[in-house]
Structures are given as structure tokens and as C-alpha cells.
Amino acid sequence: MRVPAEPTVADLDEQELLARIFPHLPVGDATLVPPGDDAAVVATPDGRTVVTCDVLVEDVHFRRAWSTGHQVGLRAAAQNLADVAAMGARPTALVVGLVMPPTTPVAWVEALAAGLGDGCRPHGAGVVGGDLSSGPALMVAVTAFGDLEGRAPVLRSGARAGDVVAHAGRRGWSAAGLALLLAGQGGADDALVDAFRVPCPPLTAGVDAARAGATALMDVSDGLLRDAGRLARASGVTLDLADPCVAFDDDARRLAPAADLLGVDVREWLLAGGEDHGLLATFPAGAALPAPFVPVGRVLARAATDVLVEGARPAVGTSGWDHFRA
């Protein structure tokens, strides 16, 4: 008896493959001309549009052995929408360039589309276009758009001495989940491993921060210290962060058993762990921080160092993530 092979993308032509993908994709509240023509048309009633682009590559950003297609789709949507939120904007749409080896199962592609759709739908954002190609590895290139709703974009460069530094979202969960997987201990804490597979950025907190008067705002993708350094340099200030085990006490407690299991200093994950896609913001002193922002430090006049922890140069976690170095 012959077991039928799982259908791959090589078994379908482009139209047939698109017919499997389209039903999973939300049209989006702002979509005026949906996919199917040479280009889509998206409403931008503000007269400006926020634009960002992020690429996920198999065996660089995800492994098919570790993540389902649905999880990769959710992650691709989340990390792009996080960059939109980090401008203080509301996500409206995304487009997806998808490169696939001919051996890619059709079911994996459908799951990816469903994940992209599920990541966009709660925000009213549509998947308005894309391109399919064959290639030597799976690559998902997403471009996302956002609406500033009449507000000024909140840049990295607006922090001023005297401001409060605040953070919204998880810290260190993704790095801890990845460390567990790499150590073959993925079963020790499903929630942390899931946090690596699919980040949960506080997407609505970006607009809330803008409304509350945030002076600077950014997505934390490469680790708190490294991204805080970027904000500090862009603003011409120094950030003095509080003890991370106090500022992020809930996260520190949550990560402690995994850190003990792997013999890792939990501060390393809190300060240097990437891919959680929390939001780092600065607010004028005395401003009421919108939930779920918590105060994590203060802004000082520019000093010799971009970022301090409890007033001192940090001993761990300054390297972050670099794609091209071993």
C-alpha cells in the first residue's frame, strides 16, 4: 500500500496556491483595493503612513522543528506590528514576500497564512498583498503600515534629562525559551518556549504612550541594554536603569526556575534578551504612565556611557544580537 505524499507547493500552480492562502487573510478595515491587481490601495486618512519592514529566515530566525507555520506567521505579524506601535501608530495593513523551497508542504504555507491573519485580525489590519517565489530556504519578508491618527510620530530622539524611563511587555521570556530549546530542555517551561515562538508585544500600548505624552518610544527587539543605548544616542542623553530584578520583578520571578536549571544569571536575560518586542518609552517626570508601562529608570544628561544600571556601567548583556557575526 502506497502512502500518499503530503502535497507540496511544487504540486500546485501559483493560482492554486493563492487560492489556498487568500481565505486565511483578513481584508482589513483600511483596504480600498484588496490583493489581486498589480498593487493594493490602502486608506491613509491621516495624510501620512508609517512603514516598516522585517524579514524572518528559516534556521536564522526560526526552525521548522521548533515552530509551526502558524507560529511563524503570528511571529512575523507581531514583530512588524510592534515596530508600527513603536511609532505611536495603529497598524492598518501588511504585505508579505514569501520564498519557499519546492518541497514546502502546502499545509505549512496555509498555516503560515492563518498565523499572519490571526496576528492582524484583532487590530483590524489587513494582509493586502505579497509575492510568492521559490528559493533555497523559507523566508518571510513582511512590510507593515500604520496610521498616526493625527498625532506626531514618537521617535527615539525625544528623550530629555529628567524624563522617566518606562517599559511595557515581557522582558527576557523569549531569550529564556530559546535557551531552554538550545539546551534540549524545551519541556521544562512551555510558556517560555511559546514566548520565543510567538512574541506578545503590547501593541495597543504604543498608541496609549503617544496619547499620554511619551517623549521617546521604541520596540525592544535586540535586548534592553542594546536598544536603550540606541535611544540614548538618538536623544543625546544617558539612561540610568534600575536594578532589573526590581524593575522587572514579575519577570525575574517568572524566569528564576529556568535560570536556575540552566545556571544562567537572570539579569542576562532581563538586560540582554531579545525578541520579546516590549516597548521602551520615556515620559516627562510626573506623567501618569498608561498601563502596562512600569517605571524602569530615569533619563540623565548625556554622559560618557549610553546606559547605566543603578548608576554604573553594566557588567552583563551589552552585546545583544548581531546577524552576520559568528
Annotated binding site for ATP: 130-131, 156, 221
List CB contacts of 261: < 8 A, sequence separation 6 or more.
Answer: 180, 185, 188
Choosing from 6, 7, 19, 51, the residue that interacts with a second copy (CB under 8 A) is 51
The distance of closest approach from Cβ of residue 97 to a second copy in the complex, given in angstroms and rounded to an integer, is 4
E-strand spans in 101-253? 126-134, 139-147, 164-168, 216-220, 237-241
Cα(291)–Cα(197) distance, integer angstroms: 25
Does position 53 interact with a second copy (CB under 8 A)? The reply is yes
Instruction: Identify the three-state secondary structure at position 278.
Output: strand
Q: Which is nearer to a second copy, 83 or 163 (CB)?
A: 83
Q: Which stretch binds a second copy (CB under 8 A): 98-106, 111-119, 170-178, 252-260?
A: 98-106
Which residues inside 259-318 make contact with a second copy, applying CB under 8 A?
Answer: none
Q: Which helix (H) or strand (E) holds 177?
A: helix 173-182
**Near a second copy in 101-120, by CB under 8 A:** 102
Could you say which DSSP state residue 8 is in?
Answer: B
For residue 38, the minimal CB distance to a second copy (Å) is 4
Whether the upstream peptide bond of residue 91 has omega within 30° of 0, thus cis, is: no
Residues 217-236 that bind a second copy (CB under 8 A): 217-219, 234
Using CB under 8 A, which of 20, 22, 27, 48 touches a second copy? 48
Binding-site residue positions for substrate: 61, 275, 321
Build a one-symbol-per-residue string for 118-157: x at contacts with a second copy by CB under 8 A, - elsewhere: ----------xxxxxxxxxx-x-x-xxxx-x----x-xxx
Q: Looking at beta carbons only, is 36 or 311 nearer to a second copy?
A: 36
CB 320 within 8 A of CB 225: yes
- Shortest gap between Cβ of 302 and a second copy (angstroms)? 18
Q: Pattern 77-96, binding to a second copy, x per CB under 8 A? A: ------xx-xx-x---x-xx
Rounded to 10 deg, the angle between the 106-120 and 69-85 helix axes is 30
CB of 24 or CB of 61, closer to a second copy = 61
Residue 253 beta carbon to a second copy: minimum distance, rounded to whole angstroms: 29
- Of the pair 49, 185, the CB lying nearest a second copy is at 49
Question: Which has the closest alpha carbon to 112: 128, 123, 99?
Answer: 99
Q: Provide the minimum distance between the beta carbon of 227 and a second copy in the complex, in angstroms, as a whole number.
A: 10
Polymer length in residues for the chain:
326
For residue 209, CA distances in Å to 90, 180, 199 come to 12, 33, 20
For the chain, what is the radius of gyration of the CA atoms? 21
Q: How many CB atoms lie within 10 A of CB 234?
A: 15
Q: How far is the CB of 37 from a second copy (least distance, A)?
A: 5
Residues in contact with a second copy, counted by CB under 8 A, come to a total of 76
